[in-house]
Amino acid sequence: MKKIAANMVLALVGVTLVMLLWATLSQTVAKDLPSPLKTWEESKVYVLQPFDKRGEMDQGILRMAGYSLFRVAKGFLLAVLIGTPLGFLLGASNLFYKMFDPTIQVLRPISPLAWLPLGLVLFRQSEPAALFTIALCSMWPTVINTMQGVRAMPQDYHNVARVLRLSAWKRLTKVWLPATLPFMFTGYRLSLGLAWLVIVAAEMLTGTPGVGGFLWHGRNTTA
164 is an interface residue for another protein by CB under 8 A: yes
Cβ proximity to another protein: between 33 and 175 the closer is: 175
- Binder of another protein out of 2, 124, 165, 219 (CB under 8 A): 165
Chosen residue from 63, 74, 151, 174 binding another protein by CB under 8 A: 174
175 binds another protein (CB under 8 A): yes
The residue type of 161 is A
Angle between helices 36-48 and 61-92 (to 10 degrees): 80
Per CB under 8 A, 65 contacts another protein: no
What type of residue is 174?
A: K
Within 139-158, the residues that bind another protein by CB under 8 A are 156-157
Select from 15, 170, 189, 218 the one that contacts another protein (CB under 8 A): 170
Based on C-alpha coordinates, what's the Rg of the chain?
Answer: 24
| Region from 1-9, 60-68, 170-178, 188-196 binding another protein, contact rule CB under 8 A | 170-178
For 59, half-sphere exposure in the C-beta direction (CA atoms, 13 angstrom radius) is: 19
* Region from 19-27, 59-67, 126-134, 173-181 binding another protein, contact rule CB under 8 A: 173-181
Residue of 44, 54, 98, 162 that binds another protein (CB under 8 A) = 162
What is d(CA 85, CA 148) in angstroms, rounded to the nearest whole number? 13
Cα atoms found within 13 Å of the Cα of residue 14, Cβ hemisphere only: 6
- Do residues 85 and 205 make contact, with C-beta atoms less than 8 angstroms apart? no
Contact 130, 68 (CB under 8 A): no
- Binding positions for another protein, rule: CB under 8 A: 156-157, 159-160, 162-167, 170, 174-175, 178
